Structure 1
Amino acid sequence: MSHHYQHIMVAIDGSYESELAFEKGVNVALRNGAELILTHVVDTRALQSVATFDTYIYEKLEQEAKDVLADYEKQARERGLDNIKQVIEFGNPKTLLARDIPDKENVDLIMVGATGLNTFERLLIGSSSEYILRHAKVDLLIVRDSEKTF
């Protein structure tokens, strides 16, 4: 049974793995004639103690996210994709990527890069992709680098 996806969300965090997720996301969107939703979440948990009232840091991070997503959108358009949306949110990436943004944007496929964390690191800080896997209500594709061994 084949499923036709209409709204594909790709989580972009600047990592090599999210770049791989983007590449696959473009291909899946092209095959399905789907909307590609490029999503970046600025993790404010780490910023709260450093910059509680410093809006400059938030504005700078938002502008950097806009620049990165604009570059990805340009690449997707060059490959023939027209239906592209950018989403930038501030907060906890795990919950925003697992439920909030997919609900708001009617996402039916979430694509994320594997974190590459080892077992000890996952135990200490947790993996976003692992959290999304447990809490998402829609299909999830975790993209791995086939060249890496963990």
Structure 2
Amino acid sequence: MSKKYENIMVAVDGSHEAELAFEKGVNVALRNGSKLTLAHVVDTRALQSVSTFDAEVYEGFQTEANELLEDYIKRAKDAGLHNVATVIEMGNPKVLLAHDIPEQEGVDLIMVGATGLNAFERLLVGSSSEYILRHAKVDLLVVRDKDKTF
């Protein structure tokens, strides 16, 4: 049985793993004639320990996210995709990528890059892709770097 995906969300953060997920996401969206939603989440959990910071910190994150997504949009359109959307959120990436963004955007496939965390690191901080796997209500594709061993 084959399924045609209508709206594919790729989580991007500028990492090598996200780059691989983006490239595969573009190809899957082209094959399916799908919308590609690029999601970038600024992890603000680390900022909670900072007692005083001003709006400039958030503006800096927003600017960086916009620049990152503009590059991805250009590359997706150069590859032949015309229906590309972006989402920038601030908060907990795991929850936003597993629940909030897919629901708000009507996503039916989530694509993420596999992290390079070892077993001990996953135990301490947890892997976003692992969390999404357990909690998402839609299909998930974890893109791996075939040259890396985890």
User: Which residue identity lines up with residue 142 of structure 1 in the other structure?
Assistant: V
1:93: which partner in 2?
93
1:117: which partner in 2?
117
Cα offset, 1:53, TM superposition: 4.1
Cα offset, 1:51, TM superposition: 5.8
Aligned: 1:8 with 2:35: no
1:50: which partner in 2?
50
- Which deviations, in whole Å up to 9, do the C-alpha atoms of 1:5-48 show, x marking residues without a partner? 00000000111000000000000000001000000000010012
1:26: which partner in 2?
26
CA distance in 2, matches of 1:83, 1:123: 38
1:38: which partner in 2?
38
Cα offset, 1:52, TM superposition: 4.7
CA distance in 1, matches of 2:144, 2:51: 34
Q: 1:71-150 residue pairs with structure 2 within 5 A? A: 71-150=71-150
Instruction: Report the identity percentage.
Output: 71
CA distance in 2, matches of 1:54, 1:143: 36
SS for the counterpart of 1:80 is: coil
Structure 2 unaligned regions, length at least 5: none
User: Which residue identity lines up with residue 79 of structure 1 in the other structure?
Assistant: A
Cα pair distance change 1:48/1:147, threshold 3 Å: same
Cα pair distance change 1:120/1:5, threshold 3 Å: same
CA distance in 1, matches of 2:77, 2:50: 38
TM-score by length of 1: 0.98
SS for the counterpart of 1:110 is: strand
CA distance in 2, matches of 1:61, 1:52: 16
Structure 1 unaligned regions, length at least 5: none
Cα offset, 1:72, TM superposition: 0.4
Q: Please, which moves more after superposition, 49-58 or 18-27?
A: 49-58
Large movers: runs of 4+ above 6 Å: none
- Which deviations, in whole Å up to 9, do the C-alpha atoms of 1:92-135 show, x marking residues without a partner? 00000001000000000000000110000000000000000000
User: Which residue identity lines up with residue 145 of structure 1 in the other structure?
Assistant: D
2:60: which partner in 1?
60
Residue pair 1:39, 1:86 contacting (<8 A) in 2 also: yes
